[in-house]
Amino acid sequence: MRCLTSLFAFALLCQTTFAQDKTKPGDEMIQKYLNAETDKLSQKFLDGAKTLEDWKAKRPRLYQEYMDMLGLWPIPEKTPLKATITGEEGAHGAVVEKLHFQSKPGLYVTGNLYRPQVAAGAKVKKLPAVLYVCGHSGKGRDGNKTAFQDHGFWFANHGYVCLVIDTLQLGEIPGVHHGTYGRPWISAKSFGFAEKDKLENRFWWHSIGYSPAAVEAWNGVRAIDYLVTRPDVDADKIGVTGISGGGAATFWIAAADERVKVAVPVSGMADLESYVKNKVVNGHCDCMFLYNTYQWDWTTIAALVAPRPMLFANSDKDSIFPMDANRRVYKKLQQIYGMYGVEKAVGEYVSAGGHDYRPDLRKAIFHFFNLHLKRQPTPLVEDSAKYTPIEGKKLRVFPTDADLPKDAINHRIDELFIPAAKVALPKWGKFVEWKKEMIAKVRKFGFRNLPNDVPVPVRVEEGLFDLISTEPNIHSLTGGVAPGDGLKSGNAFLMVNDPKMLKWAASNQKQFEELQDSVIEKGQMFPLIYRGANWDTGPFKLSKLLEWSEKSPPNYVTRSHVLLGRTIDEGRVRDIIATTKYLEKAAKKKANWHLYGWGQSGINCAYAALFEPSIKEVIVIDPPKSHKEGPHFLNVLRVLDIPEALGLLAPTPLTIVGGKDAAFDRTEEIYRLAGAADKLTRK
């Protein structure tokens, strides 16, 4: 056996470090992997529909999947809006109503509604309405709605009602957009938070399936609910538009709500090739993305708007919405609109310049709304630049801080918007059925990429440790075994390494030595360092090939994975299963596998055991008690949490070292209900 037999010696060697470069060897590996997976999804436009009949047959399912990926399925209850107008301002021949409503109880949406002035006693006319959703413009306490006044004034002066609503992060009542982006460009203090990290490192969003895109979409849907209640709004003539983050929200809302009859997204969507292969995701905040659970080609989201009129508006020198992506998206949009036989309902407008509005772009937007909402093909439209803004403070819905609602939940909506699962434990005698159902749910939402039968890896390079390819373009590192030399006892231990191992071993040396002695007595040990190992193992040259850059900001690798419908930890579970198969093939003998790992790696071991029957025991050391701490699998908290996941292992023997936390009482109860109480050990 060509691997280290002393775990502690291995741990000490792993502490040797090498000089840190700006890039790491694993960057090339992970980029090839992400590029290849992007190419696969880019071929799935319209879920493969080639005819309108195919598309119409698929669309109901796709709509549900889309809403589910936003975290809006089942569609949330539409609770009372409690819409309130707190004041009015008059300017430029329009009236600006300052209003708020609650899209969910305590989730306040602040906005300014622009309408034409109406003479006293005049009959109220029903007018077309435009919902304007804002981009990332920091206006502090006034809310970013005040940055786009000229649009509101233009619409009001041309026979529309226009509601401009604040975004979650940049509104009068601040929330968070930058949970995983890691690049807050406005101070946390300006959002009412005490510390910068309040805005960052919320990778548990992936585990619950939350994105601020969901809140922006829902706020937009509820804004339409408000508009259609007004006597001056024609409910059959609703449009939506916005730039940048507002352009993305235009897609979210129009795809979610068919009451939107016309959509004009401005610089709001690229494609996966742009976001992932060209790393444009690094220029975007979390509100620009949903989690691609069902692994769509991204432009299929925009296709849900068809056949309703859409103007795909962009700028030719926009670095975060580059023209090559615009061309690809528009070409695909022409395909779906062509299926409907309404090719002219989708238009493209490209302005010369960077990421901003210019007169020609604004005029194109206004002309499109006139044409499709008012049926007025006016060839010449005036620019809204003539409407000078009024002081933002005058447009506040809540004039002073004392006026802000005390029951607002905007600042913690990420914790409340998508409820975590409340798992009902199995009844006595029903454990097997319960386990089967729960594992199926976990696989559906978080492990769609994991094959039912994980292929045997290919050896890339042989040495003291073997470098193996656990899936195309992904490498792991494990101890080698010669044919006929290993797995003689039939028991084999796979130690899945984690940076926490070193800290735990140093502070629990006696316990660590006892653990290694018990392992060596029972069978042979093989270490595993899986993809993205974020520690330096200087003596082992090959291990350096596994580590990729984890720059924060902007967490490129982690965020790109969820755009492809996966997470890094999901891949690591595959690495664990694949490694056991590799070692068995090398030894030409089947084995009973015993897995153990520290912290999050221990939980990855547990999930591997759920999917691979050859794993006969799991030992987890100092495990996190919730997926909010990691590891992260898409939507897993919508199904279960770590204590339930560990319980699903029953009747597989499970040892939890450092598992005295009350959270694991639930694991113990599940083992009891499975009739396997004697198979669980807590130390």
Q: Which helix (H) or strand (E) holds 465?
A: strand 465-471
The four Cα atoms 56, 245, 208, 496 give a dihedral, to 10 degrees, of 110
Cis previous bond, 553, omega within 30: yes
pTM comes to 0.94
The model's pLDDT over 344-369, given as tens digits with 9 standing for 90+, comes to: 999 999 999 999 999 999 999 999 99
Structure tokens at 299: 């432009």
**pLDDT-derived band of residue 486, with 50, 70 and 90 as boundaries?**
low
Best CA proximity match to 599, nearest among 578, 574, 619, 617:
619
- Candidate from 381-385, 512-516, 648-652 with smallest mean pLDDT: 512-516
Domains of the chain: 7-41+429-682 (3.40.50), 52-403 (3.40.50.1820)
pLDDT of residue 198: 57
The model's pLDDT over 595-623, given as tens digits with 9 standing for 90+, comes to: 989 999 999 999 999 999 999 999 999 99
- Candidate from 33-37, 414-418, 519-523, 614-618 with smallest mean pLDDT: 519-523
Phi, psi of 652 (to 5 degrees): -60, 130
pLDDT of residue 185: 44
pLDDT of residue 639: 98
Best CA proximity match to 351, nearest among 381, 325, 316:
316
DSSP helix/strand/coil, 18: coil
Structure tokens at 560: 């790109």
For the chain, the 3-state helix, strand and coil shares in percent, each to the nearest 5, are 40, 20, 40
Structure tokens at 536: 């330096």
The model's pLDDT over 194-233, given as tens digits with 9 standing for 90+, comes to: 555 456 689 999 999 999 999 999 999 999 999 999 999 9
Average pLDDT, the chain: 90
Say if residue 636's pLDDT is above 70: yes
Say if residue 235's pLDDT is above 50: yes
Cα separation of 224 and 228, whole Å?
Answer: 6
Q: What is the mean pLDDT of residues 84-109?
A: 98
pLDDT of residue 15: 37
What percentage of the chain exceeds 70 in pLDDT? 90
pLDDT of residue 542: 55
| Distances 325 to 46, 176, 295, 458, 683 between C-alpha atoms, Å | 17, 28, 19, 35, 54
H runs (alpha helix) in 121-244: 149-157, 204-208, 212-227
pLDDT of residue 102: 98
pLDDT of residue 538: 44
pLDDT of residue 21: 42
Best CA proximity match to 187, nearest among 137, 140, 134, 246:
140
β pairing state of 161-165 and 127-133? parallel
pLDDT of residue 3: 37
The model's pLDDT over 106-165, given as tens digits with 9 standing for 90+, comes to: 999 999 999 999 888 888 999 999 999 999 999 999 999 999 999 999 999 999 999 999
Say if residue 641's pLDDT is above 80: yes
The model's pLDDT over 542-601, given as tens digits with 9 standing for 90+, comes to: 556 788 887 766 899 999 999 999 999 999 999 999 999 999 998 888 889 999 899 999
**pLDDT-derived band of residue 655, with 50, 70 and 90 as boundaries?**
very high
- Candidate from 520-524, 556-560, 671-675 with smallest mean pLDDT: 520-524
Cα separation of 317 and 311, whole Å?
Answer: 18
